[in-house]
Structure 1
Amino acid sequence: MEMLIFGHGYTAAYLTPVAISQGWRVTGTTRNHPDRVAAAGALPLLWPGQEAELREAVTRADAILVSAAPAEGGDPVLTDFAEKLAQARPRWLGYLSTTGVYGDRGGGWVDEDSALAPSTARGRMRVDAEHDWQALADRHDLPLHIFRLAGIYGPGRGPFAKLRNGTAWRIVKPGQVFSRIHAEDIARILMASINAPEAGAIYNLCDDDPAPPQDIIACAAEMLGMPIPPAVPFEEADLGPMARSFYAESKRVSNIRIKRDLGITLKYPDYRSGLAAILEAEGDG
């Protein structure tokens, strides 16, 4: 069985070993880090650079995952490979989107049937990309699955390094809550879908515990036995445009569908269990 991953980055590095353990051969694209792709166990292909090899990989693939982000001009995978995808007809096609497509809900709940109302440029590009992938799937009867990911965290993407070097801030914006998902759980959910395809399905990928960001920093500090950083009001925080945009949206994301339809039991259902695992993985547990 052949799997092709467009954009073999942080998340794919967790998916690839799981897929290989289940008998898959994995190919992953990268712009300039083939060593990282190979370290995860996948065959690296440069993109841009090896388009001919990639077209062959598309033709061979039983499962294709699109993890590459859209740009202002549209989705790069569709730009370069839409025709080949339509011809290849894999038995499973997955697109990684974001819960940012729901926009700001003032801390309220959303599920997969909620209206899409993005409030950032990144969110709007994701909505456009979802629509473009759905249009391709509809025209050519492709088994598209859309996964809307909450904030991704895991080893190397936790708060511990910033706490140790004194750059972690406990920024407080009243009423602000985020949903999160550990990278290992993303891999498990994707494999569950690959093993039980449902063309046209859309899934939210998040844990059970939407929480204010300052609570995560406080929990991590306690795990390290360090003082909890003082609270900084959001209005006074020195944040760049990217970081500030994350605080433009507050919502709680429902994960009922992945449990009901895919039989998922999360390995890390809340940030406490996820942080403990990160601390252990990073050699400090």
Structure 2
Amino acid sequence: MQIQNKQAIRKIGKPRLLIVGCGDVGMRMLPLLRDRYRVFAVTTQADRMAELRAAGATPILANLDHPAEAARLARLAPTVLHLAPPQAEGQIDRRTRHLTAILPDHTLLVYVSTSGVYGDCGGALIDETRAVRPHNARAIRRVDAERTLRRWARRSGSRLAIVRVPGIYAQNRLPEERLRKGTPALVESDDVFTNHIHADDLARIVIAAMRRAQPLRVYHAVDDSDMKMGAYFDVVADALQLPRPPRLPRTDLQHQVTPAMLSFMAESRRLANRRLKTELGVRLHYSTVQHGLQKIVKTAPSR
């Protein structure tokens, strides 16, 4: 009984931290946070409560779509990691607006956004000073979230960092089904540059932003890869010992992929990661997609 009481006292004495939207990346953060923080993890799914508790978090059942439920999060923690995506429709992010309405002044918040806010950059290498030009509703909602958070941070005297994230990959986040179906990719002349980050590195980047980011600063969470989308599918296919996808011109491919996939194939950009390394001091565990796939194949269970 005395041991249990001492453990409870140690837990209560830790600084409090709130993860909003504790999905795959949030779960990867928990082992890096739970020994130093009392972590509250928000989920909308009651059947995930036990999983979050077992991972070392205090689960909170709340849905940011409902202001009354968002209010449960008020003053839970002075540090917030906001990983929840916007709702699936509209041009504003109501979830982020509901969250900022209940957060106290002088909160430290890291928001995980998307590189889609830039729209198509024609394959140019860009840094975080590039103006946003969202081309689809998903990205428009993300820009609304970023602007909402900036206004809130200035008004409340809070500290905000925005982490813009490209395509996330990991052992459980590879386009294996797409490759097995033989869904075509673009021919080289029509193809677009894409950007990538391993989910484990992303978890570490968000924590580094929490600890070392400059106020109201944007960071690219991206590795050192320089590759087009078709090349990404090819290296994943090779790693999984699957056939490489066929290649088609854009005019033919648009009839064989979903509108959502086609929208990704319409934007080409390369993200610079100098700030990630010089300001946040991050050393990537998986510097390129090829490096990450080597580790994935090495540690994957036999098929």
TM-score norm. by structure 2 comes to 0.83
| Residues 232 and 175 of structure 1: CA distance in aligned 2, closer, same or farther (over 3 Å) | closer
1:59-117 superposed Cα distances (whole Å, 9 cap, x missing partner): 131310111122326334443332321x2532x21111111111101111111101111
Query: Match of 2:63?
Result: 48
- Measured in 2, the distance between the counterparts of 1:96 and 1:218 equals 28
Query: Match of 2:230?
Result: 214
Q: Secondary structure at the match of 1:82?
A: helix
Larger Rg: 2
Query: Match of 1:228?
Result: 244
Query: Match of 1:12?
Result: 26
| Residues 100 and 224 of structure 1: CA distance in aligned 2, closer, same or farther (over 3 Å) | closer
- Measured in 2, the distance between the counterparts of 1:223 and 1:73 equals 39
- Measured in 2, the distance between the counterparts of 1:45 and 1:258 equals 31
| Residues 128 and 59 of structure 1: CA distance in aligned 2, closer, same or farther (over 3 Å) | same
Query: Match of 2:48?
Result: 34
Cα contact 2:150–2:160 (8 A) shared by 1: yes
Cα contact 1:59–1:88 (8 A) shared by 2: no
List gaps (5 residues or longer) in structure 1: none
Range that drifts further, 236-245 or 131-140: 236-245
Matched letter for residue 205 of structure 1: A
TM-score norm. by structure 1 comes to 0.88
* % identical equivalent positions: 32
Cα-Cα RMSD: 2.4
1:180 to 196, 200, 205: 196
| Residues 79 and 124 of structure 1: CA distance in aligned 2, closer, same or farther (over 3 Å) | closer
Q: Secondary structure at the match of 1:262?
A: coil
Give the Å deviation of 1:258: 0.6
| Residues 190 and 126 of structure 1: CA distance in aligned 2, closer, same or farther (over 3 Å) | same
- Measured in 1, the distance between the counterparts of 2:257 and 2:112 equals 27
List gaps (5 residues or longer) in structure 2: 1-14
* Equivalent residue pairs, number: 280
Range that drifts further, 227-236 or 97-106: 227-236
- Measured in 2, the distance between the counterparts of 1:137 and 1:267 equals 32
- Measured in 2, the distance between the counterparts of 1:109 and 1:134 equals 25
Q: Secondary structure at the match of 1:17?
A: helix
Matches within 5 A, 1:140-159: 140-159=156-175
- Measured in 1, the distance between the counterparts of 2:240 and 2:222 equals 25
Matched letter for residue 10 of structure 1: D
2:109 to 93, 96, 110: 93
Verify: 1:124 aligned to 2:137, yes or no: no
